[in-house]
Amino acid sequence: MSNVEKMLPVAGIRLATIAAGIKNNGLADLLVISIDEPANCAATFTQNAFCAAPVILAKNNLSQNSPRALLINSGNANAGTGDTGMQNAQQSCSWLAQKLSCTAGQILPFSTGVIGQQLPMDKMQAGISQITQALAEDNWLPAAEAIMTTDTVTKTISRRIVIQGETVTINGIAKGSGMICPNMATMLSFIATDANVESSFLQQCLSEAVADSFNAITVDGDTSTNDACVLIATAKAANQQLMATVEDASVFVQALHEVCQHLAQAIVRDAEGATKFVTVTVKQALSKNEARNVAYTVAHSPLVKTALFASDANWGRILAAVGRADIKQLDISGVNLYLDDVCIVSKGGVDSAYTEEQGQAVMSKKEISITIELSRGNENVSIWTSDLSHDYVRINAEYRT
């Protein structure tokens, strides 16, 4: 799967974008995704305690209503904005609800951009007053552009699968390239399908897919205030309503996992200043949590990430990261370490056949796999990360200037 030049329409979903002037570059920065009835909606949100006003409001609205639309702005996070920020999020939803003839509680708001600044409400009102006129099924690519901040490319995917003999479409868009870490990272993703999926099963499917995709990536170890992933099922396809016990439910589950992993990996590939795409796999751990702990300790290490940027086969940095991970009674004599298929460490020490030239050849690649075997159990985990470059520092140093 790869980014596409054309996104398939999803029956029951219409989208529109506008340049409201929230961003300084004159590009589209406001997006509306309207949802025809009936539809089910599931979502996961940031676990940051300082979550943004739109996150609080979206969670509350989703718990009480069947959404009729999503309202997304880029260029301003509406986070750290207190009571005024919440009032502005509510007012924005009210303005859109008036245009769509629904209640404000049926609007889910999302924001991404600079933290600590109030939304420019005059621009929000003007943009919302015009945007609904442009709602159309074929606006997926403009939608992917409108949610970008420091992203350099759009992140999109469009798939068709067959469930119970019926053709089903799944579309997804995402944004994110920095402040990326588990617990939803600093990203937004909006996924829609015309499949008929029961509400609780839809949430289960999304939560499981997010665990193995958006919550399996890291760029810099920072978790944002605004991230969210939304999955809409419009029930416009003619399949029998999907539940865990229904035939072909696994086809949908697998496709959703693939869509989420594609978008999550696209975020890492577009990581701020990144030159490398890195898969860190931990095998033979006692538990999934233990495997993730080791993988993220390696992936978050500034010394490992800078060695990756330098294409330096300094494998001692990886070994040191494994050693400081929070593992009870790690027997280092059971640890094996590989760069791609090159064994560097065997039974806790440098492999007798390893040469610096072999390691250097792998580290010079654009895509690298780091595999760590713990010899403690049967659990395996893979996560995706990037290197840490000069440009990452520059991009984030200049973010507000």
- Report helix, strand or coil for 255: helix
Contact (Cβ atoms closer than 8 angstroms) between residue 296 and residue 180: no
Which among 44, 81, 150, 186 is annotated as catalytic? 186
Q: Which residues contact 357 (CB under 8 A, 6 or more apart)?
A: none
- DSSP of 104-147: GGGEEEEEEEETT----HHHHHHHHHHHGGG-BTT-HHHHHHHT
Is position 186 annotated as part of the catalytic site? yes
Cα angle value 356/301/111 (rounded, 5°): 135
Q: Which residue, among 230, 134, 244, 167, has the nearest Cα to 200 in the 3D structure?
A: 244
Contact (Cβ atoms closer than 8 angstroms) between residue 139 and residue 14: yes
Residue 115 in tokens: 């933290």
The burial class, CB within 10 Å (0-12 / 13-18 / 19+), for 400 is exposed
Residue 167 in tokens: 């053709």
User: What is the set of active-site residues?
Assistant: 186
